[in-house]
Every structure is written in C-alpha cells, then in structure tokens.
Amino acid sequence: MDFSTKTLDAKNAVTAVKTGALVVGIYENRKLSKAAGALDKLGAISAALKSGDISGKPGSTLLLRGVTGIAAERIVLLGLGADEEISDKSFAAASGALVRTLATLGCDDAALALPLDAIKGRDLAWAIRNVVLAGRDADYRSDVLKSKKDPAPTGVKKIAFLVPVTAIAAAKTALAEAVALANGMALTKDLGNLPGNVCTPTYLANTAKKLGKQFKLGVEVLDRKQLEALKMGSFLSVTNGSDEPPKFIVIKHLGGKAKDAPVVLVGKGITFDTGGISLKPGLNMDEMKYDMCGAATVLGTFRTIAELDLKLNVIGVIPTCENMPSGRATKPGDIVTSMSGQTIEVLNTDAEGRLILCDALTYVERFKPAAVVDIATLTGACIVALGHHNSGLFTREDAAHDQLANELLAAGRETGDTAWRMPIQDVYQEQLKSNFADIANIGGQPAGSVTAACFLERFTRKYTWAHLDIAGTASRSGANKGATGRPVPLVTTFLMNKAAAK
C-alpha cells in the first residue's frame, strides 16, 4: 500500500473528499465520530447504527454505498470502541480490520477521516504508524522462491490520511517515519524468511554492501584471515564444522557530530544452527534459519535510520557464520580462547550464539561507544520465561545501565514492540564456573536466559551495555510461520529518541 496525507479543513470538507472509499469512525452506544456526523446529513449512518448492522465494537465494519450529498463512492464505518477516548488496543484492532476490509473493495484508493489524535496515551504519529504497519504487514509476501507466486493483494492500493491543516506538518513527518520503519521491518522479514542455503554469511555481507551503496553507509567485511589476526578464537570455533566462510560485518551510519560517541548495535548472525556436535532434535530444526534474526534486525534498523537520515552516529557489528557438525567441528569439552583473552570451556556446542557475540562485544571497545545493545535469538529459556510477547532485556544494575534499560523499555512501550527487564546478578555467575577454563559456555538449565546474559556481561565491562534476547519475538511458528520484523520498531525508536534528545 502507498500512503499519503491530505489537508481536511473548511475548504476541503469531509463531504467533498473524492475517493473510492471514505473511512470514518463510530463508537459503541450508537455514537458518531465528528467526521461521521458530518456525513450523516440525511441520516444514512444513524439508520445503520439503529438497525444494528454495526455495533461500533473495535474492528467492526460496515460498507455503505450510494450515500447522497457526499463526493466519495463508498463510506466504510469503522468501529473504534466504547467511547470517544479510544484505547490503543481498540485502535490497533480497528487498524487490522480496516486493512482487511479495504483489501476486499473494488476501488484503488481510500481516505481515512479518523480521530487519530483521540487515542488515550498516544499521539497522531502513533496512530499513523499503527495503520501503516498494519497495511504493510497485510501486503507482505514471502513467496520470492515460489515458482508460482501467491495471489497479489487486491483492493485499495492508496490510502490518504485526512488531517487538519494545523497537524499536516506533524502528519507528514510521522508518515515518513512510519514508511521508513515498515521498509526496515520488511528487509528484516525477508532476510529471516530466506532459507539457510540462500541467506548465508556471504549473503548477509552482500546485503550490507548493497545498503552501503544505496544510502552511502560505511561498510567493512572481515574474512577468516582477519578474524584469525584479531584472535577471535571463540567466534571461529563455531565455524569449524561449516564449509561456509564466516563474515564479520561492520556498518556505519555517521549522522551525528564527528566527536559524538556512537551507539553500537551487535546482531547475532547464525544463518543456520544445527547445534553442531550437540545436535538439535530434527523436529522443527528448519526454524533454525531464524537464528540470524539479530543480524537481520541490525540491517533492518540501518535501512530505516539511513532512509530517515537520522542525526546520530550508529555502528552495527554482525558476526555471522553457520553452526554445523563435521569432523572439524568443535567438540563438547574443547577449550577456546576469546579475543579478550578469556578461555572458554565449550560444554555444549549448541550454546554457540554467545561464543560469536563475546568476540564481537570485545571488538566494539575500539569505538568507545556511548552504549552497546546486542540483539540475539539467544535462548529457548527466554521463550519459557516470557513467551512470545516480550523480548528479554538484560543489563547491569547501576545508574547508567538503568537509564539505558529505561530508554529501551520506553521505546518498546511506545511502539508496542515490548521488552521485559530480567536480572543480571553475580550469584548467577557461579553457574558458569569451569574447572578447566576461565568460564563455561553454559550454566545448566536453571535460569538459562539469565546465565547466557551473564556470560555476555563478562565481555562488556568497559562500556554501558544491554542485551535483547529475541528468541520468542523474532519469528512465529505454526500456520503463520515467518519472521515478525521485531525488534526493529523498538530499536529504531530507541535510536530516534536518542537523536531527538541531542
């Protein structure tokens, strides 16, 4: 869907709007929104409410044709809920129903005369973003590798937001941000949904290079010899069993002042995870193609902030490889030396994400970052703890880290791409003790997501850092299997808020 904004004022009244479908809101208890009331000159809308043809409950819809005294070909009544103080949950339900309804119509364009500024605790930008993301999600297709493509979306192709002249500037800005976010999420979904034989470490590196050319970003890709020279023994230990060459991607958006310390995003890029010698069960192993969704999130975020020309220095770091079993593969009990010099006893080769991230977290020290956020489908234990609603957020407990955590949590609440803070405490570090190395790569079943974060924390003590475990939120299983594009909204909004605060 294509989106635009149009001014709605006395000269361009809602009754004079020429469009294939004009969408107005109604409430429960037979209440009309202001725009619906303006269209109800001859009582057609009131009659529909009195007849019980539409309830006004969130997401309920009714199509009216041939309404006299208006320029629009059709009116779509959209239920918004119980009263004129619309909840964000009610509006989100209405947005989803709206795009489904518009897809069934026989016209190309629609105009929305909805009370976008009347949502409790939200603003105009939130409402516009909600509709745009709902529309783009409905349009999204993952059929790039099908010989016979899925049916193309039908119905409305163009949607205009009708807003007062006093709000047009804010609406245009909000729309540009929403479209950029949708573009970033689409890239993240595309990368996540591609199979492991297509989306290899080299494919991710080439994607970063394409973004670099398109948006004039700095991109550097390190290969095995360079990683060996950097002594990234932990990262390289994960690649031993694979024929695919590892890549270490560095991507830079330097939109801030030259002296400003950058925010660094680190994304886990395991393009396929068999578990290595600690082989995973075969059931649902195909979903291990999603083990690079942290990397996909970083690239999707850069797609968004580059399109917006965000005034902030942001650096992305992506360690990417496969985790495969072979005669060369790392074995349980092997001891490897990380870039930091710390030795690691690999008790389970399926706990590989932390092994590639720890070297990346050491590497980013050279950037003297303002903050570092790593994003990873790290543990199944996080799904057990939080399900598929919240990403797990882990930071140390002090003033600087509390501030970082609060900024990330606020960005999640702002977008609906929520996270929940989990503990990192020294008592959990006891589970990572090894008799033979400085640290073990697993700490047993209890608090598995916490001990994984505690492992990473040991490599981040020279800067402010947070870890997002997205194992439960980056993809869906079952009939709706696919990448979600999360947590691109959370991360991009976090960065946009930091840029706005400067």
- List residues with catalytic annotation: 280, 354
Single-letter code of the amino acid located at 403: Q
For tokens 């009331």, name the residue: 37
Q: Report whether 294 contacts 376 (CB < 8 A).
A: yes
Q: Report whether 156 contacts 109 (CB < 8 A).
A: yes
DSSP 65: E
Beta bridge partners of 71: none
How many Cβ atoms are within 10 Å of 230's Cβ, its own excluded?
A: 16
Q: Which DSSP string corresponds to 66-122?
A: --TT-S-SEEEEEE--SSSSB-HHHHHHHHHHHHHHHTTSS-SEEEEE--TT-BTT-
Signed CA dihedral, 270, 477, 197, 305: sign only: negative
HSE-CB of 7 using CA atoms within 13 angstroms: 8
Q: Please tell me whether the peptide bond between 487 and the residue prior to it is cis, using omega within 30 degrees of 0.
A: yes
Q: Report whether 234 contacts 338 (CB < 8 A).
A: yes
Structure tokens at 251: 């991507």
Per-residue 3-state assignment (H helix, E strand, C coil) for 339-383: CCCCEEECCCCCCCHHHHHHHHHHHHHHHCCCEEEEEECCCHHHH
For tokens 């709605």, name the residue: 8
CA distances from 140 to 2, 161, 375 (A): 13, 21, 24
- Cα 201 from Cα 322, distance rounded (Å): 8
Q: Report whether 382 contacts 471 (CB < 8 A).
A: yes
